[in-house]
Structure 1
Amino acid sequence: MSSGSAPRAISRRELLTLIGSVAGSAVSYQAMAGMGLVSESNYKGPIKLEGNPKGASVLILGAGLAGMVAAMELRNAGYKVQVLEYNNRAGGRNWSLRGGDTYTELGGFTQKCEFDPGLYLNPGPWRIPYHHHGVLDYCRRLGVALEPFVQVNYNAMVHSTQAFGGKPQRYREIQADYHGQIAELLAKVTQQKKLDELVSAEDQEILMASLRQWGALDKHYRYVPGRDSSERRGYEKPPAGGLSGKPVYSKDITGLSELLKSELWGSIGAGHGYEFQTTLFQPVGGMGRIGDAFKREVGDLIRYNAKVIKIHQDRKKVTVTYVDPKSGGAPQTATADYCLCTIPLSVLSQIELNVNPKMQAAINAVPYEASVKVGLQFKRRFWEQDEHIYGGISYTNLPIRLIGYPNTDYHSAGKGVLLGAYVFGPNAYEFTALPPAERVRKAYEYGAMIHPQYQQEFETGIAVGWHRVPWTLGCAGAWTEASRAQHYDNLCQLDNRFLVAGEHASYIPAWQEGAILSSLDAIQRLHQHVVNR
């Protein structure tokens, strides 16, 4: 481009692609949130379905959270409810794999989880933001115990194969050095009067004080080795007691140019996004405890091992044809006045269904994200014992993208399970194409580049590639601005006696909150239709 040319404006799509390639899916997601492409929860409290349902019946397809929320609330309101579920368990993507569990994916690969008792992997959701009020309220109402989920751990690692000779760096050191030198740079610009047109003299004085505090600068507004910087990035020798207690300040500050080229600044912002801000939660004992709690409420309404193969509606009823996905046998039918379908669109688009053309086009329009999770069990909790990492996440540019540390059972003398990979994008397609054992091996090999202890401590693993999960065929609905504008409202409308719910029918995609709010919105609209007839 010539010096006289105007710079080309970067599109939203290009910006999100750039952010995702540099900083990973979590940061890309928070960028989407900042652009208004995702929304926060608007949950206002328990739903009130007032009015006489007149003996109406509802057939719910899918016993994930959206389906079981609907089953619970509709039954409480006086509806006749039945639920068809593909699996032999409730919960859908709200799922924890434990020792003794088996799972068969498309292609026939069957894995048996060999984790020790009490250990688990959450193949789907693994955290609940504090502002996902719907999920949290149902946990409260159903007695699901919660504990903190550590999103940001300053003692965890950030890693790039292209920086620092491939050696992992402590999160706190990279963050302190980056913030400190950005603060120093801005302080210099302010002192040189280059902000006079933008910031008043009074505000510049306040700005300088804030930069000194935020960046741990010395009295000359420099980020240098010493007490201030060591209290952010850590000490060469921490303060102690007695004659040997004098601290030694950190000397190895990384220069700004090296920090910028390392691109590790992309990882230290992961916890700033709205969805990842403190406090986050997880159910005690695994995310699947939420599905278990709903099952206690509505399990008697669920018919398991029911694979839907046809949905037909007329002016009076909806008839659903289903088969046993394992044993086959003669098709069976279930009938109700209305049908609420929470089947993922990736599967629903392949089921015979008579709805209006606009709804069918919407169902067909939404592809699903690729994602892979790998759980690795180790003989001991070396990340705590050797490196003092208690919960949180380490980030890397390796295909595994991150390593998640357990947020429970700290200081346990027993074994532990790491989330050894959480993969999105092109790497997820590559991982999904591998047999499960190869996915585990890859997660082991890449992880050993960050934690060499893998080589001595690894025992067993299990891997879930979501495009090979037969009842979802993907991780979550992947709307674009254009597809949402064209199809979203058509997807969510009540079509005669049929309507949909799930995370794919929400502005909070890929989150349990989206599934719950979508369900509540759908059954409220359905109820108004019934009582006003």
Structure 2
Amino acid sequence: MDSGRRTPTRRQLLNAIGLMGGTAAVYQMMTTFGHAAETRFPGPPKLEGARKGSTVIVLGAGLAGMLAAYELEKAGYKVQILEYQNRPGGRNWSIYGGDKITEMGGATQNVGFAKGNYLNPGPWRIPHHHKTLLHYCKAFGVALEPFIQFNHNTYVHNVDAFGGQPQRFRSLAADFEGNIAELLGKAIDQKALDAKLTPEDTDRLKEALRGWGMLDKDMRYVKGMASSSHRGFELPPGGGVNGAPKPSDLLPFDQVLRSGIAANMSFFMNDEFQTTMFQPVGGMGKIGEGFARQVGRLVTYNAKVTKLFQDKSGVSVTYTDTVKGVATTAKADYCVCTIPLTVLSQIESNLSEKKQAAIAAVPYSNSVKIGLEMRRRFWEEDQDIFGGHSFTSQEIGLISYPNNNFFQDGPAVLLGAFAGGPGGYRLGGMTPEQRIEVALAQGSVFHPQQYRKEFMNGASVAWNRVPWVMGCCARWNEDTRREHYQELVALEDRIVLAGEHASYVGCWMEGSLLSALDAITRLHKRALEA
């Protein structure tokens, strides 16, 4: 046994597994109390009766800003959008061949992906219950396709298990479930469970465990046809006289536990990661393009906001054209501000001290995504992996396989890293070239024969180095929400904030949209009462 590592007792193990295995029940309870329910979208807002000539200035042409502008214009307001970048969408972003990425500090990447290939550095998947986003994608003609979130045939890697050799997800999950089912079966026979069960319930539970864990007639998880039907065969079933399959060997249970497979399994139980998930055809940035088709004529691009002031007569916003260097002041009756808090906190304004304290109180997470373009789809051709993620305990966190253009020849881009936490900050501190090297070195554990051989080029985005957001997304905690959230989202005279930071669906596009709809509904009510 490793020094400092204690083997859990059966009771501790059963308790832990019970907590994990009871996720469905816990989810139902959380839904009842409103903590994990489907996002709230009763339909587009019914705004009408705007006073003639009323004007609104929207800061930011991300999804929140463009949706606010779209619905406000429908209600009769004259709207102007100011956007720092030269494109719409904000963090709804896809990077294609020919694009240029310049980080804070000056490092520049010229992306060399083949035509049609892309990296989504920000959002990359849409849960099936994010109804607001799905509604507007349909309304704005954004084509969606399935995003393959869960794939049994991918890999799990932990440097502390199996000598650092990755194992198939399906084998680890099957051996984990089979061993736990056997332990629970023994606990039932020994009357070691705390819960009181009738003899009939005990029999039903044992039969359920037998089927779930692929146990034999003696309630044992052993090598055989039953276990192999879940974990995979050493020799798969075939046809003809030699078609009989051969069962596969089971993995040592202590190594299965050490691999961390339970965390990977529970990852897919999270309601936001459950199937079915979607992605736009051609890249996540197609959503921003779809929104821009509705309101692009209202956008002033390359507009760096430097001042935001309001008084009894209206709102004034000073911005500088980042191309021409010319400063301009725009005026309107009201303002919807969707600028990320990391940037807004540095803009001169006369917002109240409480509002500015709330803006400054919310830290942003960092993440690094790295796209690696490979000459061929070796994960499909050589390992039968079609979409999904392979997990690792290394800094890159995971690699994710493309969900489009299956079976096609030619180059394809896989996500070579989605690093957060300490790994994200370490990668974020590297040059783009160094990040690529780390992604190749660490990703090679999954595909040692192909990774470097098939690599063509890559691109990366470290969100703490992106000048127009300086972080990935807002990370509230219970204390900051309790102290600052209501102040942040409150309408202050003529200005209201919106964006994923102003929602309980943080770090998701859905949160941005729900926040925008809530903000403009309250702003419209204030305008009618003025």
Q: Tell me the secondary structure at the aligned position of residue 296 of structure 2.
A: helix
The aligned amino acid for 2:373 is Q
Q: Structure 2: how far apart are the matches of 1:48 and 1:334? A: 28
The aligned amino acid for 2:353 is P
Deviation at 1:52, TM superposition (A): 3.1
Deviation at 1:263, TM superposition (A): 2.3
| Mapped pair 1:407 → 2:403 | yes
Deviation at 1:258, TM superposition (A): 2.1
Q: 1:82 to 1:410 in 2, by over 3 A?
A: same
Aligned pair partner of 2:167 in 166, 169, 187: 169
The aligned amino acid for 1:355 is L
The aligned amino acid for 2:146 is P
Q: Tell me the secondary structure at the aligned position of residue 326 of structure 2.
A: strand
The aligned amino acid for 1:65 is L
Q: Structure 2: how far apart are the matches of 1:467 and 1:411? A: 36
Query: 1:243: which partner in 2?
Result: 241
Give the TM-score taking structure 2 as reference length: 0.92
Query: 2:186: which partner in 1?
Result: 188
> 1:147-226 to 2 correspondence within 5 Å?
147-195=145-193, 197-226=195-224
| Mapped pair 1:486 → 2:508 | no
Deviation at 1:54, TM superposition (A): 3.4
Deviation at 1:38, TM superposition (A): 6.8
Q: Are 2:314 and 2:332, in contact at CA under 8 Å, matched by a contact in 1?
A: yes
Q: Tell me the secondary structure at the aligned position of residue 440 of structure 1.
A: helix
Aligned pair partner of 2:143 in 132, 145, 152: 145
| Mapped pair 1:303 → 2:300 | yes
Query: 2:438: which partner in 1?
Result: 442
Aligned pair partner of 1:419 in 407, 415, 419: 415
> 1:35-434 to 2 correspondence within 5 Å?
40-195=38-193, 197-250=195-248, 252-325=249-322, 327=323, 329-434=325-430
Provide structure 1 residue ranges, at least 5 long, that are not aligned to the other structure.
1-14, 20-29
The aligned amino acid for 1:523 is I
Tell which deviates more after alignment, 476-485 or 256-265: 256-265
Q: 1:254 to 1:36 in 2, by over 3 A?
A: farther
Q: Structure 2: how far apart are the matches of 1:467 and 1:196? A: 49
Q: Structure 1: how far apart are the matches of 2:484 and 2:130? A: 25
Q: Are 2:500 and 2:506, in contact at CA under 8 Å, matched by a contact in 1?
A: yes
Deviation at 1:348, TM superposition (A): 0.2
| Mapped pair 1:497 → 2:494 | yes
Deviation at 1:270, TM superposition (A): 1.6
Q: Are 1:159 and 1:264, in contact at CA under 8 Å, matched by a contact in 2?
A: no
Deviation at 1:262, TM superposition (A): 2.7
Q: Structure 2: how far apart are the matches of 1:126 and 1:55? A: 39
CA deviation profile, 1:257-309 (whole Å, cap 9, x unmatched): 22222323222222111100010000011100000001111000000000001
Deviation at 1:37, TM superposition (A): 6.9
Q: Structure 2: how far apart are the matches of 1:206 and 1:78? A: 63
CA deviation profile, 1:427-451 (whole Å, cap 9, x unmatched): 1111111111111111111111221
Q: 1:354 to 1:38 in 2, by over 3 A?
A: farther
CA deviation profile, 1:321-342 (whole Å, cap 9, x unmatched): 11123x3523111110001000
Q: Structure 1: how far apart are the matches of 2:488 and 2:192? A: 53
Q: Are 2:49 and 2:76, in contact at CA under 8 Å, matched by a contact in 1?
A: no
Query: 1:466: which partner in 2?
Result: 463
Query: 1:11: which partner in 2?
Result: none
Query: 1:7: which partner in 2?
Result: none
Q: Tell me the secondary structure at the aligned position of residue 292 of structure 2.
A: helix
Q: Are 2:181 and 2:210, in contact at CA under 8 Å, matched by a contact in 1?
A: yes
Q: Are 2:59 and 2:337, in contact at CA under 8 Å, matched by a contact in 1?
A: yes
Provide structure 2 residue ranges, at least 5 long, that are not aligned to the other structure.
1-15, 20-26
Q: Structure 2: how far apart are the matches of 1:487 and 1:138? A: 30
CA deviation profile, 1:386-405 (whole Å, cap 9, x unmatched): 00000000000010000010
Q: Structure 2: how far apart are the matches of 1:197 and 1:376? A: 51
CA deviation profile, 1:117-164 (whole Å, cap 9, x unmatched): 010000000000001000100111011111111111000000011111
Q: Tell me the secondary structure at the aligned position of residue 260 of structure 1.
A: helix
Q: Are 2:335 and 2:495, in contact at CA under 8 Å, matched by a contact in 1?
A: yes
Q: Tell me the secondary structure at the aligned position of residue 395 of structure 2.
A: coil
Q: Structure 2: how far apart are the matches of 1:332 and 1:287? A: 32
Q: Structure 2: how far apart are the matches of 1:341 and 1:349? A: 12
Q: 1:197 to 1:74 in 2, by over 3 A?
A: closer
Q: 1:401 to 1:271 in 2, by over 3 A?
A: same
The aligned amino acid for 1:287 is M
Q: Tell me the secondary structure at the aligned position of residue 68 of structure 1.
A: helix
Tell which deviates more after alignment, 267-276 or 417-426: 267-276
Q: Tell me the secondary structure at the aligned position of residue 516 of structure 1.
A: helix
Q: Are 2:84 and 2:301, in contact at CA under 8 Å, matched by a contact in 1?
A: yes
The aligned amino acid for 1:516 is L
Q: Are 1:468 and 1:474, in contact at CA under 8 Å, matched by a contact in 2?
A: yes
The aligned amino acid for 1:55 is G
Q: Are 1:37 and 1:507, in contact at CA under 8 Å, matched by a contact in 2?
A: no
Q: Are 1:174 and 1:265, in contact at CA under 8 Å, matched by a contact in 2?
A: no
Q: Structure 1: how far apart are the matches of 2:460 and 2:38? A: 31
Deviation at 1:406, TM superposition (A): 0.2
Q: 1:77 to 1:340 in 2, by over 3 A?
A: same
Q: Structure 1: how far apart are the matches of 2:528 and 2:196? A: 60
Query: 2:5: which partner in 1?
Result: none
Tell which deviates more after alignment, 442-451 or 67-76: 442-451
Q: Are 2:94 and 2:119, in contact at CA under 8 Å, matched by a contact in 1?
A: yes
Q: Tell me the secondary structure at the aligned position of residue 272 of structure 1.
A: coil
Query: 1:457: which partner in 2?
Result: 454
Q: 1:84 to 1:39 in 2, by over 3 A?
A: farther
Q: Are 1:106 and 1:470, in contact at CA under 8 Å, matched by a contact in 2?
A: yes
Give the TM-score taking structure 1 as reference length: 0.92
Tell me the matched-pair count: 502
Q: Structure 2: how far apart are the matches of 1:261 and 1:312? A: 56
| Sequence identity percentage | 53
Q: Structure 2: how far apart are the matches of 1:119 and 1:127? A: 17
Q: Structure 1: how far apart are the matches of 2:149 and 2:339? A: 30
